[in-house]
Chain A
Amino acid sequence: MGQMTTTQSLRQSPILRPSGLIVVGLAALCVGVLVATGSRLTLSLFAQAAIISTLALSVGFLARTSNLVSFGHAAPFGLGAYGSALVFKHGLPAEAGIVLVLLAVFALFFLIGLVIGRLNGIAFSMLTLALGQFFFVAISKLRAITSGADGMLIPLPNTLFGLPSRIFQTPQGMLIIASAILAVLVIGIYLFEATRAGRLAMGVRENEERVLFLGYRTKLLKASLFAGSTTIAAVSGVLFALYQGFVSPEIMHWSFSGNALIMVILGGSLAVWGPVAGALVFFFLREWLSEITDHWHAVLGLILITVTVAWPGGVTALARTVRQLLTGRNAEEERT
Chain B
Amino acid sequence: MSILFRCEDIGKTYGGVVALKDVSLSLETGKVHGLIGPNGAGKSTFIDVVSGRTPGQGRVYFEDREVTGASPSAMRRMGISRSFQRTSIFPALTVAAQLELANHGAGGGQTGELVQMLGLETVLNTEADEISYGQQRLVDLALSLVGEPRVLLLDEPAAGLSVQESAVLAGHLEEIAKRWDVAILLVEHDMDVIFRVCSILTVLASGRFLVQGNPADLRNDAAVIEAYFGSTA
- Interface positions of A (Cβ within 8 A of B): 1-4, 196, 199-200, 202-203, 206-207, 209-217, 332, 335
Contacts and interface: CB of A to CB of B under 8 A. Distances in A.
A210 B130 contact: no
A216 B105 contact: yes
B96 A1 contact: yes
Contact of A332 (B75, B103, B107, B130): B130
A200 to B, nearest CB: 6
Interface in B95-137: 96-108, 110-112, 115, 124, 127, 130
Contacts of B108: 3
Interface stretch (B24-32, B85-93, B167-175, B199-207): B85-93
A213 B90 contact: no
A216 B72 CA distance: 9
A214 B124 contact: no
B112 A1 contact: yes
A213 B127 contact: no
A17 to B, nearest CB: 15
B87 to A, nearest CB: 10
A49 to B, nearest CB: 29
Contact of B106 (A199, A203, A215): A215
Contacts of A2: 110, 112
A215 B77 contact: yes
B88 A207 contact: yes
Majority secondary structure, A binding face? helix
B100 A199 contact: yes
A196 B82 contact: no
B45 interface: no
Contacts of B130: 332
A207 B97 CA distance: 14
Given A202-B90, A203-B98, A206-B91, A196 B76 contact: no
A217 B53 CA distance: 14
A323 B179 CA distance: 48
A39 B51 CA distance: 64
Contact of B105 (A1, A206, A214): A214
Contacts of A206: 90-93
A332 B91 CA distance: 12
Nearest to B78: A215
Nearest to B94: A335
A118 to B, nearest CB: 12
Contacts of A199: 93, 97, 100-101
Given A1-B111, A2-B110, A209 B101 contact: no
A215 B112 contact: no
B156 to A, nearest CB: 16
B41 interface: no
Given A210-B88, A214-B101, A203 B96 contact: no
Interface residues of B, number: 40
B154 interface: no
Nearest to B149: A215
A335 to B, nearest CB: 6
Interchain residue pairs A-B with the least CB separation, the first 4: A215-B76, A214-B105, A215-B105, A206-B90
Contacts of A3: 100, 103, 108
B107 A215 contact: yes
A202 B92 contact: yes
19 contacts: A1-B99, A1-B111, A3-B108, A196-B100, A200-B101, A203-B98, A207-B88, A210-B84, A210-B88, A210-B89, A212-B71, A213-B72, A213-B75, A214-B106, A214-B143, A215-B106, A216-B73, A217-B73, A332-B127
A304 to B, nearest CB: 27
Nearest to B90: A206
B9 to A, nearest CB: 24
- Which among B72, B77, B103, B110 has the highest number of chain A CB atoms within 10 Å? B72
B146 to A, nearest CB: 8
Given A209-B88, A213-B81, 9 more contacts: A1-B112, A4-B100, A196-B100, A203-B93, A210-B89, A213-B51, A213-B73, A214-B76, A216-B105
A163 to B, nearest CB: 41
B100 A214 contact: no
A274 to B, nearest CB: 14
A200 B112 CA distance: 20
A215 B73 contact: yes
Interface in B36-71: 51, 53, 71
Interface string B146-184: 110000000000000000000000000000000000000
A211 B73 CA distance: 8
Contacts of A211: 101, 105
Contacts of A335: 92, 127
Nearest to A270: B92
A206 B91 CA distance: 7
Contacts of A210: 84, 88-90, 143
Nearest to B147: A215
